[in-house]
A and B are shown apart, each in its own frame.
Chain A
Amino acid sequence: MTDSLTAPDPWGPLRHMTPARIGLGRAGDAPPLKTVLDFQFAHAKARDAVHAALDTEAIAAAFPGRAILQVKSAAPNRAAYLRRPDLGRQLDPDSRALLEASAGSACDVVFVISDGLSATAVRDHAVPFVQACLERFTRWRIGPLVIATQARVALADEVGALLGARICASVIGERPGLSVADSLGVYLTYGPRVGRRDSERNCISNIHPHGGLTSAQAADRLLWLTGEALRRNVTGVALKDDGGEAPFLDATVVNGI
Chain B
Amino acid sequence: MASYVSAIGNERFHFPDLAALLAAASPRRSGDELAGIAANSDSERVAARFCLADLPLQTFLDEAVVPYESDEVTRLIIDSHDSLAFAPIAHLTVGGFRDWLLSYTADAPALAALAPGVTPEMAAAVSKLMRNQDLIAAARKCQVTSAFRNTLGLPGRLASRLQPNHPTDDLKGIAVSCLDGLMFGVGDAVIGVNPASDSVPNCMAILEMLDELRQQYDIPTQTCVLTHVTNALQMMERGAPVDLVFQSVAGTQAANRGFGIDLAVLDEAYAAALGLKRGTIGQNVMYFETGQGAALSANAHHGVDQQTLEARAYAVARRYKPLIVNTVVGFIGPEYLYDGKQIARAGLEDHFCGKLMGLPMGADVCYTNHAEADQDDMDTLMTLLTAAGVTFLIAVPGADDIMLNYQSLSFHDMLYLRSTFGVRGAPEFEAWLERMDMVSPGGRLRELSPQGAGARLLAFAKETR
Contacts and interface: CB of A to CB of B under 8 A. Distances in A.
Interface in A6-34: 7-8, 10-11, 13-14, 17-26, 29-31
A43 B407 contact: yes
A7 B449 contact: yes
Nearest to A256: B333
Contacts of B30: 83
B454 to A, nearest CB: 8
Interface stretch (A137-145, A156-164, A173-181, A223-231): A173-181
Interface stretch (B223-231, B409-417, B425-433): B409-417
B398 A21 contact: yes
B402 A10 contact: no
B407 A18 contact: no
A255 interface: yes
Interface string B22-60: 000000001001100000000000000000000000000
A40 B376 CA distance: 11
Nearest to B335: A85
A168 interface: no
B177 A84 contact: no
B409 to A, nearest CB: 12
Contact of B334 (A24, A31, A83): A83
B317 interface: no
A50 interface: yes
A31 B369 contact: no
A86 B34 contact: yes
Given A84-B34, A85-B335, A177-B402, A17 B369 contact: no
B314 interface: no
Nearest to A42: B400
B369 A43 contact: yes
B368 interface: yes
Contacts of B154: none
Contacts of B177: 18, 20, 22
A39 B21 CA distance: 43
A47 interface: yes
Nearest to A51: B370
B34 A83 contact: yes
Contacts of B402: 18-20, 177-179
A35 interface: yes
A30 B412 contact: yes
Contacts of B410: 21, 24, 31
Interface stretch (B109-117, B166-174, B358-366): B166-174
Nearest to A46: B369
B398 A35 contact: yes
Interface in A119-169: none
Contacts of B418: 29
Given A8-B450, A26-B412, A39 B398 contact: yes
B256 to A, nearest CB: 15
A22 B369 contact: no
B462 A10 contact: no
Nearest to A36: B375
B263 to A, nearest CB: 23
Nearest to B398: A21
Contact of B447 (A11, A18, A26, A31): A26
Contact of B450 (A10, A17, A39, A46): A10
Contacts of B170: 17-18
A181 B405 CA distance: 10
17 contacts: A7-B449, A11-B448, A14-B176, A17-B461, A20-B164, A20-B165, A20-B397, A20-B402, A21-B397, A22-B398, A29-B418, A31-B410, A39-B398, A50-B370, A83-B33, A175-B369, A177-B405
Given A11-B448, A176-B369, A177-B369, 16 more contacts: A3-B449, A8-B450, A10-B449, A11-B458, A14-B179, A17-B170, A18-B170, A18-B402, A20-B398, A20-B400, A24-B412, A29-B418, A30-B415, A176-B370, A178-B369, A181-B369
Interface of A: 3, 7-8, 10-11, 13-14, 17-26, 29-31, 35, 39-40, 42-43, 46-47, 49-50, 82-86, 117, 175-179, 181, 255-256
Q: Which 5 A-B pairs have the closest CB atoms?
A: A21-B398, A177-B405, A18-B173, A29-B415, A46-B369
